[in-house]
Structures are given as structure tokens and as C-alpha cells.
Structure 1
Amino acid sequence: MATPPEKRNEKIENAKELLAELSNISPSSLARKEELSRDINFQEAVPYFEEMLDIIKQLNQRDISRLTTSQVNQIIAGCNNLKGHINNVQDFELNQNSPADVCTQIINQVKAAYDSVMEPLTIPLAFTATQATDYARIEREAKGYHATMREEAQSFKTLLDNYRQEAEKALNAVKEQAAEAGVSTNAQIFLTESTAHANGARTWLKATIAISGVTLAVAIVFVCLSFTYKPADIPDAIQYVFSKVILLSVLSFGIFWSAKNFRSAKHNETLNKHRANALGTFRAFVEGSDDPAVKDAILLQTSQAAFSNRRTGYEGQEADVQSVNPVVEILGKSLHRED
């Protein structure tokens, strides 16, 4: 049989009054330590009252107007049950037979009352919790968070792309600096070798001039002596001539050896200077073109200049043999790239 709306509303108001009344009760005030005595009080029951009153306070903050009459009756029954235990505590007096036993009995009843008080309130508490939740607001907030996260993700992706581009630029700059440093270091090696050979060439030039001067002086002396020296016999003359020839031969060999070493040193000096110049101008030629084929051809020519032997004019060498024609190299790479 359906309950008339007036009675249902009356029960709802009654339930609200009970919930409000119980919510205003402080669990610590139910200990009554100051009113009773240090040995006989309800301090032991306070934690149990706190648990039950906490549920009552939560339900008091909910809207119970949409509950059914039976559920409202359950709330009223649970509240009256809890209120009865509270009244037992508040009405307790020491002026009675065996007050300690009565106090202990009331405490035990409170300890065992949780299930009987809370079980009728479980369904109303769960139902009102779903009603108190604003799912539309949660959905709006979720959509807002999703849009915000998507914007932040896009912003983070853009930031990462910028960092990646900057890192690539920095890496390329480091590579270029390393390449320039490597080229400069190798050019300096060839310059050092060129300087060493230049010093050696000067030394051998001085030696050649000195030996030539000595040889010329000895030859003049021998010529002058030939006008005054008269050998006693033919063997003496032969010995005289051969000794002079041997001495002049040794001096002539010294001139030849010094001159040869001078030419070799000048050859190495010029060759290493050419290699250093090739490496020193490599970056300028490479940066002057954006065509990879041209850059490869320049690299090939620079490598040949650095590692192959070259004609310098100081030694009897054959003409240079071009291992790879740079024009053919560029055209070949261009045709291959077009294919």
C-alpha cells in the first residue's frame, strides 16, 4: 500500500531532525569523566560512538528527500537505536546499586551496537552518495582536463621538436668545429714537417757550399804544387797523382751527397707545404658549394694532395698522374644521383 505524500514528508522531516540532533553531539562529551568518577565513566565507549556518529554526520549532509518511505524508516530506526544508547549513557547515575557493573553493561551494549545501528543506514548512505555526486560536473572537468592535457602534450611535442632542432644544430656545429680542428691539426703537422725539412735543407746547403769551397781550395793547391813538384821516378809520380785523385774524389762525393740531401730536403719541404696549403683551403672550397658531388670531388682532390707524391722540381720525377679526373668524378656522381 502506497504511503500518502504527507506522511512520507513527515517521516523525512523526522529523519532529518534525528540526523541533525545526533550530528550535534560530540563523542568526547559522552565519556562523562568529570561528571562521574575516574574509575566509573564511559571513556571506553567513546571510539565506538565516534564511528557511528561519523556515519550519521555524513548522512546528515546528504539529500534524503528522494529515498523511499521504507528507507526513511530505516534511517529513523537506526537513529533511534543510536539515540537510545546515547540516552543510556547520559542518564546514568552513580546513585544506584552496583554502578560499576551497570556502566560496564552499557559500554558492552555500545560496543555491540555498531551492526544494528549501521545496517539500516547502509543503503540510504550509498544511494545518497550517488545522488551527491555531480557526474555532469565530473564529465565537464574530465573533458576540460583532456583538452588541457592534449594542449600541453602538443606544446610539449613542439618544445621537444625545437629542442631536437637546436640539438641537431649544436651537433652539426660541434662536428664542423671538430672537422675544422682536425683539418687545422693535420695542416699544422705538415707545416711542422715542412719547417723541419727547410732547416735540414739550409744545413745541407751550407754543407754543400763548405765542401765545395774546400774542394776548390784543395784543387787550387794541387795545381800550384804540380808546378813545383818533380817526382823522382814514375812510381812516385803515380802515387802522387793517385793520392790527389782519391782526395778530390772523396771531396767530390761529399759535394754530390750534400747536394742530393739538399734537394731531397727542399723537395720534402715544398711537398709538405703544399699539403698544408691544401688542407688549409679545404674548408673554404667546401663551404663555397652546396652540391654533395662537388664536395666529394674537393675531398678527393684534397686527399690526393695530402697523401700522394707531387712533382716539385727538386728531384728527377715523372709528371704527376691524376688518379681520378675531378670533372669525371662530379659528372659521374650527378648522373648517379639523377638515376
Structure 2
Amino acid sequence: MATLEQQKQLSDQIKSKLQQFLTISLDELTRETQLGQQLSFKSGEQLFVKIIDLFKKVNSVELYEIPYKMLNGFNGQLDHAISVFDQIKNFNPATNNPVGQRDSLIDQLENQYESYYSTAIPILTTSLLNTNDLSLERAKLNEALTELEKEKEKTKKDSEKYLNEIKDVLSKARQAAVEVGVAQHNMIFKEEADEHKNLSEKWLRWTIGVLIAITLVGIGLLYVKPSDEGAHFLIHFTITKIVILTVMFYALAICTRNYKAHKHNSILNKHRQNALNTFETFSKAAGADLQTKNAVLLEATHTIFSNQQTGYLNNDGESDSPNKIIEIIKNSASKSQE
């Protein structure tokens, strides 16, 4: 148990600290003129006022009558407040991450305010019991408690608001990531479609060229007549014409086949690109209907992985035939729902 001398010494020490603490002005703490709006402590102004007002009320109490244990607990909290306020007054914006350090100091005070209040309330209550005008002090105390409750409620609402904003940003970020992923795959099919389109146009030009060459050669051969040197020369002349025309028609077949193949791939990849372009629209239109979303996903998957008919290939596969990849997706979806 503390002696009277210890009680007086601690009381005088706290009084001295409080008087020094209460000489700090708001301008010294916010430092808006020195640091500018970006780095100033303007956002903590209301918190500074609450803390100073709380300690001002304690300063008006006769501390000699307060138990030593209460004073000792309050003294520790007062030292913490003085330390943080000194750091704010001496804050140097030239340090690394000044914004983070500024916010950290404000957060320290905000997190510690409840401890300040918890150690100050017993002192204020004890002083209230020792005064003659108990009803007036009780009213002041109730007012202080009401103000505290309002501050807590405001802090709670602000926290919920910020939490909802964070959730909204996170949701939009996830949605943007999905759209970026779809756009990336969309570009893959677009590049493939453009490449096959260019190749098909190239082979179309070759096809037209070979057709023109066959026409010219055919017309030319009409004017070339065999000589009368004998049957063997006639046979040789005929075989030569057949070989020339056969080679040219073979070249025409190759050009035509390559043209059809690239044209088929160009249309097929363009169709896949269009499917991905419209996937997000139909998926969002479904809203919360999970069954419709799954149907849209399966149809988009079917369009991407199945062999669609374009009319350019003689052996086009049936577009409605079962697709193994789609069946795998169906089975996976059903298992995850179970």
C-alpha cells in the first residue's frame, strides 16, 4: 500500500504532466500549415479534441483524494498520450513512407482512446462522489457517457460503411479479373481467325491464278496441232498434254483444298470469338439464376470445343454430337453441387 508521501508525489507528477500536456494547441498537432493537406494530421483533429478534453476534465479533479492504484494506471496512459503527441509534433515528412507513419500515429491514439477513457472514468467518478453537487456532476458524467456512446455508434457506422466499400471494390475487382480473362481468350480466337482469313485469301488468289493458267494453257493447246511424223509422235504429244493438264488440275485441287481449310478455320474461330464476346452479357442477364448461367456456360463451351459446320469442308462433323469436354464439365458441376 502506498504511503501518503508516495500518493502526493504521484499526484503532483500527474498534475505537472497534465498542465504541460494541455498547453499543446490543435495547430501544433494538425500541422496543416507545415505539412500541407496531403501529409497533415487534419484527419485526427476530432480525436485530438476528445483526448485533450478528457484529460482536461481529469486535471480539474483534486488528485490527492484519488486512490494510488487508480492514479498509477492513469499515469501510464498519460505517458503514452504524451509520447504519441510528441511524435506528432516532431513528425518528419522526409522519412520513408510518411503517409503510413502518419496514419500509424493516428491509429495508435484511436486504438488507445478507450484505455485513456477507462483509466480516467474511475478518477472522475471518485471526484464526483466527493463533491457536494452530486446531481450536477452526475449529469455531466451522463453527458460524457452519452457522447462516448455516440462516438462509438458513429465509429461503428463508419466501419460498416468502409467495409461495404471494400467489399464492393473487391467484387468489382473479381468481376474485372473475369472479364479480363475472357477478353484474353477472345483475343486468342481473334488472332487465329485473322491469320486463317489472310491465308484463305492467299490461297484464293492462287486458285484463281491456277484457273487462269489452266484456261490459257487449254486455249493454247487447242492451237497446237500434232505433226504428221507418225503414230508414236501423236501418242507422245497426247500424253504430254494430259500430264500438263493433270499437274495443273492437281495444283488447282491443292489450292482449293487449302483455301477451304483456312476459310473453315477462319469462320470457326470467328464464331468462337463471338461466343466469348457475348458470354458475359448473357451470364449477367441471368442474374442469380444458377441453372441459366450453367446452361450459358455449357453452350459457350460447346461452341468453343466442338467442330461447327461451315460448309467449306466435305467432312464437317455434326455440331450436335456429344462432346467429351462438355460431359466432363457437366459431371464436375453436378459433383460440386452435391
Larger Rg: 1
In the superposition, the TM-score normalised over structure 1's length comes to 0.51
Moved over 4 A (4+): 137-151
> Over residues 2-29 of structure 1, what are the superposed CA-to-partner deviations in whole Å (9 max), with x where a residue is unaligned?
xxxxxxxxxxxxxxxxxxxxxxxxxxxx
Question: Structure 2: which 5+ residue stretches go unaligned?
Answer: 1-62, 66-122, 132-136
**How many Å separate the matches in 1 of 2:286 and 2:201?**
41
- The answer as to whether partners of 2:306 and 2:323 remain within 8 angstroms in 1 is no
**Residues 1:136 and 2:129 are matched in the alignment:** yes
1:224-243 matched pairs, under 5 angstroms: 224-225=223-224, 228-243=225-240
Letter of the structure 1 residue corresponding to residue 304 of structure 2: A
Equivalent residues in 2 for 1:13-24, closer than 5 Å: none
1:257 equivalenced with 2:254 (yes/no) = yes
- TM-score, normalising length: structure 2: 0.51
Q: Residues 86-134 of structure 1, C-alpha deviation per residue, up to 9 Å, x if partnerless?
A: xxxxxxxxxxxxxxxxxxxxxxxxxxxxxxxxxxxxxxxxxxxx9xx63
> Aligned equivalents of 1:210 and 1:163: distance in 2?
69
**Mapped partners of 1:148, 1:231: distance in 2:** 125
| Offset at residue 143 of structure 1 (A) | 7.4
Task: Please give the per-residue CA displacement for 1:32-62, whole angstroms capped at 9, x wherever unaligned.
Answer: xxxxxxxxxxxxxxxxxxxxxxxxxxxxx98
Kindly report which structure 2 residues correspond to 1:112-261, keeping only aligned pairs within 5 A, or say none: 134=127, 136=129, 149-225=148-224, 228-261=225-258
How much does 1:284 deviate? 1.6
What is the match of residue 280 of structure 2? 283
Counterpart of 2:295 in structure 1 is 297
The alignment of Structure 1 onto Structure 2 pairs a total of residues equal to 206
| TM-superposed deviation, 1:261 | 0.8
**Contact residue 226 and residue 234 of structure 2 kept, 8 A:** no
The residue number in structure 2 matching 1:310 is 308
Deviation at 1:224, TM superposition (A): 2.5
SS of 1:281's equivalent? helix
Q: How many Å separate the matches in 1 of 2:64 and 2:221?
A: 137
> How far off its partner does 1:135 sit?
5.9
> Is 2:226–2:237's contact at 8 Å kept on the other side of the alignment?
no
Segments of structure 1 that go 5 or more residues without pairing to the other structure are 1-60, 64-129
Work out whether residues 204 and 256 of structure 2, in 8 Å CA contact, stay in contact via their aligned partners in 1: yes
Aligned amino acid, residue 314 of structure 1: Y
* % same residue: 27
Q: 1:269 aligns with which of 260, 266, 269?
A: 266
Amino acid at match of 1:310: Q
**1:172–1:219 CA distance, 2 compared to 1 (3 A):** same
